């Protein structure tokens, strides 16, 4: 196996230790030959320098885009995958900057799930509300890519097509990077192996997740607004959220499409956003707590997530 690990490196200043943990965990748990293919278009200079000095990281000079969020992520992933394919990797793994393997046979285990018919192994964030491959970890063979040419984002023609509308009605996925791979697999009559959430301990229903007992994902480390499936029914509450406020927020927010909710802070004051969507603030609080616990003692916290036992 010659593994190409694909990562779009977008790292906030306060997440420097998270970047180090991501790199060290990949090195610790990857025992097959590998190269990390990374984009650094909007990366801070000190982080770019750190990656350039890493012996396993290859910075790919990607074409720049003004797109943001999922569209930007998919735009850079497309270029990174092509870069890895040109280097003749046999297998490709997509990771986020806040995701990494936690078991030393992860690559071999995921490669063993692949076949001519089962062409992808990937995390799935929510089996009921978001049934698509999720790019916190996606693993596939180069032959799948070369034969079917899947894309992370879909064209306007594909989005308006009857096969895509059928895919939406069957699986109801959130439109993010990864949806194009899920759609291609469904359209071609193929299958994929989902890595479902396997936490035995948790501080949040999404933030700080273990998938398939193989992959950790912190969640939304580079997002300003942190919204997830099931937010409306599974609040992380540090403080008390008044029932009347929650009921009012639901009655208003339910009218807004999911994609619009993610952009709402671009045109509404922060106080209004917090009123309409109190889960955003509670998710941010949860993120900071989980990140602190993780970075203070990674081994202990990962063990808690895997086993539910506090050391």
Report if residue 208 sits inside a domain.
no
Give me the CATH number covering residue 74: 3.90.550.10
Angle at 148 between CA 97 and CA 184, to 5 degrees: 70
pLDDT 10s digits, 187-208: 999 999 999 999 999 999 999 9
Report if residue 191 sits inside a domain.
yes
Distance from C-alpha of 215 to C-alpha of 24, rounded to nearest angstrom = 14
Report if residue 18 sits inside a domain.
yes
Q: Residue 309: is its pLDDT beyond 50?
A: yes
Q: Residue 254: is its pLDDT beyond 60?
A: no
Q: Residue 267: is its pLDDT beyond 70?
A: no
Note the pTM of the prediction, 2 decimals: 0.86
Task: Indicate whether 242 and 179 sit together in one domain.
Answer: no
Report if residue 215 sits inside a domain.
no
pLDDT 10s digits, 159-172: 999 999 999 998 88
Task: Indicate whether 36 and 167 sit together in one domain.
Answer: yes
What average pLDDT is seen over the chain? Answer: 88
Report if residue 97 sits inside a domain.
yes
Task: Indicate whether 37 and 178 sit together in one domain.
Answer: yes
Distance from C-alpha of 24 to C-alpha of 22, rounded to nearest angstrom = 6
User: Which range among 68-77, 140-149, 255-264, 289-298 shows the weakest confidence by mean pLDDT?
Assistant: 255-264
Domain that holds residue 259: 222-307
Task: Indicate whether 184 and 235 sit together in one domain.
Answer: no
In total, how many domains does the chain have?
A: 2
Q: Residue 251: is its pLDDT beyond 60?
A: no
Q: Residue 232: is its pLDDT beyond 80?
A: no
Task: Indicate whether 265 and 146 sit together in one domain.
Answer: no
What are the backbone dihedrals phi and psi of residue 114, each rounded to the nearest 5 degrees, phi first?
-90, 150
pLDDT number for residue 238: 36
Q: Residue 93: is its pLDDT beyond 50?
A: yes
Task: Indicate whether 96 and 134 sit together in one domain.
Answer: yes
* Residue 132 CB contacts under 8 Å (≥ 6 apart), including other chains: 124, 171, 173, 174, 176, 178, 179, 181, 182
| Residue 138 pLDDT level (bands cut at 50, 70, 90) | very high
Helix (H, G, I), strand (E, B) or coil at 73: helix
Q: Residue 243: is its pLDDT beyond 60?
A: no
């Amino acid at each position: 196996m010659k593994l190409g690990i694909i990562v779009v490196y977008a790292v906030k200043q306060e997440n420097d230790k998270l970047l180090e943990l991501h790199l060290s965990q990949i090195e610790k748990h990857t025992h097959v030959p590998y190269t990390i293919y990374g984009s650094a278009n909007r990366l801070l200079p000190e982080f770019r320098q750190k990656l350039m000095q890493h012996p396993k990281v290859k910075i790919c000079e990607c074409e720049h885009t003004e797109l943001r969020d999922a569209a930007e992520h998919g735009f850079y992933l497309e270029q990174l995958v092509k870069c890895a394919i040109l280097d003749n990797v046999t297998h490709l793994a997509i990771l986020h900057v806040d995701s990494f393997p936690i078991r030393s046979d992860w690559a071999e285990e995921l490669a063993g799930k692949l076949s001519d018919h089962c062409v992808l192994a990937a995390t799935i964030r929510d089996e009921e509300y978001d049934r698509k491959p999720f790019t916190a970890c996606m693993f596939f063979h180069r032959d799948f890519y070369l034969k079917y040419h899947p894309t992370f984002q879909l064209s306007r023609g594909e989005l308006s097509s009857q096969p895509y509308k059928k895919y939406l009605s069957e699986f109801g996925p959130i439109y993010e990077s990864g949806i194009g791979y899920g759609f291609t697999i469904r359209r071609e009559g193929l299958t994929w192996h989902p890595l479902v959430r396997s936490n035995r301990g948790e501080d949040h229903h999404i933030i700080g997740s273990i998938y398939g007992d193989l992959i950790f994902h912190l969640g939304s480390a580079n997002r300003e607004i942190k919204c997830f499936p099931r937010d409306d029914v599974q609040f992380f509450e540090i403080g008390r959220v008044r029932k009347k406020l929650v009921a009012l927020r639901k009655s208003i927010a339910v009218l807004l499409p999911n994609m619009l909710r993610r952009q709402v802070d671009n045109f509404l004051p922060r106080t209004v956003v917090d009123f309409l969507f109190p889960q955003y603030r509670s998710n941010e609080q949860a993120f900071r707590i989980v990140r602190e616990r993780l970075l203070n003692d990674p081994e202990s916290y990962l063990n808690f997530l895997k086993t539910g036992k506090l050391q």
